[in-house]
């Protein structure tokens, strides 16, 4: 994409990296072997990360996996016990001030002051970002309008809904330009409409050239937003790649068949198991059969195998109501990678 | 997810998306503010908090009023022959007590911030690290002045006549606020060490009430047992009260004032670096 843009648009960045000044690493975040313990609890047992500039990167994992700890280390709020991390080319341990000049953080619990009004929060953070008083006020007013918060401008944040609070939090993060934005669980606890708004905001920020590192326990969120994802579990990155790569690594897909007659389930199950060489499962609905189809190195595609297996069912006079061969969901990926229940099914305790 | 919800979200998103692109920051990031500007911004925040949460001033107002009135009229006659005569003795004491008790809120406020996400954002900003604390202390000074002013006005209203006049009162309140500001650093240290604002309050109460009661605030220590006299003698609150009595009556004891100033410097020298170190640590 970048080379094409460079070819058609004279004056575009010559490098394939979004806005990276020459001499700086192409990576916005490079971390190796990060460890951290709290008391006796090992929060991180060795996290490696490489986040390309200009991308949206997702840290996906259940509660307590180490997502927040990783973000807090990268945002210079915590010092790692072991390992090294560079953010935009600066070491988080020895060049924290340089890192802080170029990043912005929106924490897991909205990082705004409950007692102040929406407008006061933005003016305060604008002043702290280095804007003169008048410019800070103008910026605050503009952001409140853009984020649909103008009516709430003079209300204390403690009266805001969860979605409004998040929007204010995101607005506070883009008062001035940050090269890297950390968003810790930006949509936890939001209703679907508010989630979609936050997603749109995140996309706009990334489209403007900033790198976004977000944590989430929602697989659909990672699928929706992230260019690449690191799955983190028990303080370690257990898988990394694009969401499609992660799905492919688990298997080529899942076959779902709904039989017209549930009584034929056992027959159909046996035939499919023989012809596809897989385990066939019956769910709570006896008419529905599912099977994980592994990726095979052989020339014959999974689709072809499945097609002939379904043809066999028809020949045996077993009527198939519907069938589908789809990519595995990220939930299945997560289950396979971690052996845990999916993060989405866990209680959002913290 | 039902189609209806998806459509609604998409509409809302489209609306938000249009104005959003125009709201993204233009131009490079400005230079971060200097220590003074950053501290002033946090001082403004402290004043806004007083404005929006006036309830937090309840203790600041109630404690001095209750103690001054209660001790003057309840015990004044028995202790000094008449409430009017006792008021001359006790007012500098309740003045000190009111302000010293309020100092613990410096620690409570910092602890409240630390327990919320907002301090994460402050600590990720490219600003002078102690700025949030310096700004908050400006808010504390406003509270100390309010508490001190209230006691003096109340005292004058019910018959207190400072022999030192207005200059004596101004000097007295000035010394007191200076001492309180120094003591605030001890509370900010504690506020960063203890886990919850409630814990800071508990420790504050347990430390400050004995310190202010076992002193010469209410009576002179001659009638106390020897061990208690010894404690009252070394209690910094006693020294402060003696200095205040001197300043308000116009017969300032230079030695006592110097003692308070030195004690203030000592407290700041220990606790200010400790607070700043604890605030900056990353674990």
- Listed in sequence order, the DSSP H helices in A233-325 are 243-250, 265-276, 302-315
Same domain, A219 and A100: yes
A164 close contact with B: CB closer than 8 A: no
Scored b (16 or more CB within 10 A) or e, A276-300 reads: bebebeeeeeebbbebbbeeeeeee
Work out how many domains chain A is built from and give that number: 2
A19 close contact with B: CB closer than 8 A: no
Identify all chain A residues contacting B27, using CB atoms and an 8 Å cutoff: 177
Q: Is A181 a member of any domain?
A: yes
A332 vs B116 pLDDT, higher one: B116
| Overall average pLDDT of the A130-156 stretch | 93
Work out how many domains chain B is built from and give that number: 1
Same domain, A176 and A276: no
User: What is residue A15's DSSP assignment?
Assistant: S
Same domain, A155 and A228: yes
Identify all chain B residues contacting A106, using CB atoms and an 8 Å cutoff: 121
Identify all chain A residues contacting B30, using CB atoms and an 8 Å cutoff: 129-131, 176
Q: Is B6 a member of any domain?
A: no
Chain A (88-127) residues lying within 8 Å, Cβ to Cβ, of chain B: 97, 100-117, 120, 124-125, 127
Q: What tokens were used for B123?
A: 């600590």
A296 — pLDDT class (breaks 50, 70, 90)? low
A251 — pLDDT class (breaks 50, 70, 90)? low
- Listed in sequence order, the DSSP H helices in A59-210 are 67-74, 96-100, 118-128, 133-146, 162-173, 192-207
Which of A232, A247, A262 is the endpoint of a domain?
A: A247
Per-residue pLDDT in tens (0 to 9) along chain B, 283 residues: 333 333 334 334 444 445 666 778 877 888 999 999 999 999 999 999 999 988 888 877 888 889 889 889 998 888 888 898 899 999 999 999 999 999 999 999 889 888 887 888 898 899 998 999 999 999 999 999 999 999 999 999 999 999 999 999 999 999 999 999 999 999 999 999 998 999 999 999 999 989 998 999 888 888 899 999 999 999 999 999 999 999 999 987 889 999 999 999 999 999 999 999 998 887 6
Q: What is the pLDDT of residue A283?
A: 73
Q: What is the pLDDT of residue A344?
A: 44
Identify all chain B residues contacting A175, using CB atoms and an 8 Å cutoff: 25
Q: What is the pLDDT of residue A346?
A: 41
Same domain, A157 and A257: no
Q: What is the pLDDT of residue A252?
A: 62
Same domain, A39 and A90: yes
Identify all chain B residues contacting A178, using CB atoms and an 8 Å cutoff: 29
CB pairs under 8 A between A and B: 145
Tell me the torsion sign for CA atoms A85, A87, A90, A96: negative
Q: Provide the angle, in degrees to the nearest 10, between the axes of the packed helices B131-157 and B254-280.
A: 150
Q: Residue A294 pLDDT more than 80? A: no
Distance CA A60, CA A241 (A): 11
Distance CA A59, CA A233 (A): 10
Q: Is B197 a member of any domain?
A: yes
A315 — pLDDT class (breaks 50, 70, 90)? confident
Same domain, A243 and A256: no
Q: Is B149 a member of any domain?
A: yes
B22 close contact with A: CB closer than 8 A: yes
Q: Is B100 a member of any domain?
A: yes
Q: How far is CA A96 from CA A51, A181, A184, in A?
A: 18, 15, 19
Q: Is A310 a member of any domain?
A: yes
Q: What tokens were used for A226?
A: 């992230």
Q: What tokens were used for A2?
A: 């970048």
Q: What is the pLDDT of residue B283?
A: 66
- Listed in sequence order, the DSSP H helices in B53-164 are 58-70, 76-80, 83-102, 104-114, 118-123, 131-157
Q: Residue A303 pLDDT more than 50? A: yes
Shortest distance between the Cα of B273 and any Cα of chain A, in A, equals 19
Distance CA A92, CA A99 (A): 7
What one-character-per-residue DSSP string does A102-142 give? TEEEE-SS--S-TTSBHHHHHHHHHHHTT--HHHHHHHHHH
Q: Is A287 a member of any domain?
A: yes
Lowest mean pLDDT among A231-235, A268-272, B91-95: A268-272
| Overall average pLDDT of the A180-193 stretch | 90
Q: Reading across the β-sheet that carries A280-282, which strands appear in turn? A: A280-282, A288-293, A253-259, A320-326
Considering only the beta carbons, identify the residue of B5, B8, B41 that sits closest to A128. Answer: B41
Shortest distance between the Cα of B3 and any Cα of chain A, in A, equals 12
Q: Provide the angle, in degrees to the nearest 10, between the axes of the packed helices A330-338 and A243-250.
A: 60
Q: Is B4 a member of any domain?
A: no
Residue B37 belongs to domain spanning: 33-280
Among chain B residues, CA nearest to A142: B23
Residues 6+ apart with CB under 8 A from A235: A35, A36, A42, A43, A44, A45, A46, A47, A65, A66, A69
User: Could you tell me what percentage of chain A is helix, strand and coil, using 3-state DSSP and rounding each to the nearest 5?
Assistant: 40, 25, 35
Q: How far is CA A134 from CA A137, A138, B57, in A?
A: 5, 6, 31
Q: Do B8 and A193 touch (CB under 8 A)?
A: yes
Helices and strands, number each (H, E), in chain A: 12, 14
Same domain, A177 and A243: yes
Same domain, A123 and A259: no
Identify all chain A residues contacting B41, using CB atoms and an 8 Å cutoff: 124, 127-128
Q: Is B268 a member of any domain?
A: yes
User: What is residue A339's DSSP assignment?
Assistant: S
A276 close contact with B: CB closer than 8 A: no
CB A265 within 8 A of CB A77: no
Q: Is A87 a member of any domain?
A: yes
Q: Is B25 a member of any domain?
A: no
Among chain B residues, CA nearest to A39: B283
Residue A69 belongs to domain spanning: 29-247
Same domain, A78 and A49: yes
Give the CATH number of the domain where residue A142 resides. Answer: 3.40.50.300
Q: Do A192 and B45 touch (CB under 8 A)?
A: no
* Torsion angles phi and psi, residue A15, rounded to 5: -85, 165
Q: Residue A287 pLDDT more than 60? A: yes
Q: What is the pLDDT of residue A85?
A: 96
Chain B (116-145) residues lying within 8 Å, Cβ to Cβ, of chain A: 116-118, 120-127
Among chain A residues, CA nearest to B21: A204
Distance CA A30, CA A23 (A): 16
A245 — pLDDT class (breaks 50, 70, 90)? confident
The pLDDT tens digits for A44-97 are: 999 999 999 999 999 998 888 899 999 999 999 999 999 999 999 999 999 999
Q: Is A1 a member of any domain?
A: no
Same domain, A309 and A166: no
Distance CA A12, CA A19 (A): 10
Q: What is the pLDDT of residue A14?
A: 38
CB A58 within 8 A of CB A216: yes
Q: Is A280 a member of any domain?
A: yes
Residue A232 host element (H or E):
strand A228-233
Mean pLDDT over each residue of chain A, to the nearest integer: 83
Q: Is A24 a member of any domain?
A: no
A145 close contact with B: CB closer than 8 A: yes
Which of A227, A247, A267 is the endpoint of a domain?
A: A247
Q: Do B29 and A176 touch (CB under 8 A)?
A: yes
Residues 6+ apart with CB under 8 A from B229: B221, B222
Considering only the beta carbons, identify the residue of B16, B29, B124 that sits closest to A77. Answer: B124
Distance CA A340, CA A334 (A): 8
Shortest distance between the Cα of B234 and any Cα of chain A, in A, equals 39
Considering only the beta carbons, identify the residue of B29, B33, B118 that sits closest to A127. Answer: B33
Q: How far is CA A195 from CA A74, A146, B11, in A?
A: 25, 17, 13
Q: How many residues does chain B have?
A: 283
Q: Provide the angle, in degrees to the nearest 10, between the axes of the packed helices B131-157 and B83-102.
A: 170
Q: Do A128 and B23 touch (CB under 8 A)?
A: no
Q: How far is CA A34 from CA A234, A274, A347, in A?
A: 13, 47, 27
Same domain, A234 and A320: no
Q: What is the pLDDT of residue A226?
A: 94
* Torsion angles phi and psi, residue B30, rounded to 5: -70, 165
Q: Is B220 a member of any domain?
A: yes
Q: What is the pLDDT of residue B18?
A: 54
Q: What is the pLDDT of residue B46?
A: 94
Give the CATH number of the domain where residue A299 resides. Answer: 3.30.70.120
Same domain, A153 and A209: yes
B51 close contact with A: CB closer than 8 A: no
Considering only the beta carbons, identify the residue of B13, B117, B124 that sits closest to A197. Answer: B13
Chain B (173-192) residues lying within 8 Å, Cβ to Cβ, of chain A: none
């Amino acid at each position: 994409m970048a080379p094409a843009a460079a070819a058609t648009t004279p004056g575009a960045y010559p490098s394939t990296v979004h806005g990276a000044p020459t001499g700086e690493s192409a990576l916005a975040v490079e971390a190796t072997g990060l460890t951290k313990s709290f008391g006796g609890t090992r929060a991180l047992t060795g996290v490696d990360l490489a986040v390309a500039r200009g991308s949206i990167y997702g840290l996906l994992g259940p509660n307590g996996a180490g997502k927040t700890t990783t973000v807090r280390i990268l945002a210079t709020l915590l010092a790692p016990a072991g390992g090294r991390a560079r953010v935009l080319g600066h070491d988080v341990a020895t060049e924290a001030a340089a890192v802080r000049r170029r990043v912005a953080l929106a924490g897991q619990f909205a990082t705004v002051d409950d007692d102040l009004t929406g407008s006061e929060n933005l003016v305060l953070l604008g002043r702290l970002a280095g804007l003169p008083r008048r410019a800070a006020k103008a910026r605050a007013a503009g952001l409140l309008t853009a984020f649909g918060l103008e009516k709430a401008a003079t209300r204390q944040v403690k009266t805001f809904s969860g979605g409004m609070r998040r929007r204010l939090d995101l607005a506070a993060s883009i008062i001035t330009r940050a090269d890297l934005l950390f968003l810790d669980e930006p949509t936890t606890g939001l209703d679907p409409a508010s989630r979609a708004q936050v997603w749109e905001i995140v996309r706009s920020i990334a489209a403007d050239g900033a790198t976004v590192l977000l944590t989430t326990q929602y697989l659909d969120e990672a699928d929706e937003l992230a260019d690449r994802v690191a799955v983190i579990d028990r303080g370690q990155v257990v898988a990394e790649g694009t969401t499609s790569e992660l799905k492919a690594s688990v298997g080529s897909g899942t076959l779902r068949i709904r039989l017209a007659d549930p009584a034929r389930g056992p027959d159909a199950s046996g035939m499919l198991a023989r012809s596809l060489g897989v385990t066939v499962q019956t769910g709570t609905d006896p008419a529905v059969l599912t099977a994980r189809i592994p990726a095979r190195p052989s020339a014959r595609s999974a689709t072809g195998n499945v097609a002939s297996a379904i043809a066999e069912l028809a020949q045996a006079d077993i009527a198939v109501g519907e069938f589908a061969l789809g990519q595995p969901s990220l939930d299945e990926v997560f289950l396979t990678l971690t052996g845990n229940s999916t993060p989405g099914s866990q209680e959002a305790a913290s | 997810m039902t189609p209806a919800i998806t459509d609604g979200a998409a509409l809302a998103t489209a609306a938000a998306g249009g104005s959003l692109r125009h709201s993204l920051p233009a131009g490079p990031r400005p230079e971060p503010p200097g220590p003074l500007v950053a501290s002033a911004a946090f001082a403004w925040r402290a004043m806004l908090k007083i404005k929006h949460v006036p309830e937090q001033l309840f203790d600041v107002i109630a404690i001095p009023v209750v103690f001054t009135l209660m001790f003057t009229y309840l015990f004044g006659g028995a202790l000094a022959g008449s409430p009017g005569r006792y008021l001359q003795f006790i007012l500098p004491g309740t003045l000190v007590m009111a302000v010293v008790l309020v100092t613990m809120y410096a620690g409570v406020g910092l602890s409240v911030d630390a327990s919320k996400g907002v301090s994460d954002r402050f600590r990720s900003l490219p600003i002078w690290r102690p700025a949030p604390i310096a700004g908050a202390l400006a808010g504390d000074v406003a509270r100390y002045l309010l508490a001190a002013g209230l006691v003096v006005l109340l005292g004058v209203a019910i018959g207190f006549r400072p022999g030192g006049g207005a200059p004596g009162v101004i000097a007295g309140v000035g010394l007191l606020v200076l001492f309180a500001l120094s003591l605030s650093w001890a509370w900010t240290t504690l506020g960063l060490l203890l886990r919850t604002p409630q814990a800071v309050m508990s420790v504050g109460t347990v430390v400050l009430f004995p310190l202010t009661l076992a002193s010469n605030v209410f009576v002179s220590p001659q009638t106390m047992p020897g061990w208690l006299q010894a404690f009252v003698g070394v209690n910094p609150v006693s020294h402060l009260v003696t200095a205040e009595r001197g300043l308000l009556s116009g017969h300032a004891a230079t030695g006592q004032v110097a003692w308070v100033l030195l004690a203030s410097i000592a407290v700041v020298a220990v606790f200010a670096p400790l607070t700043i170190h604890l605030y900056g640590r990353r674990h």
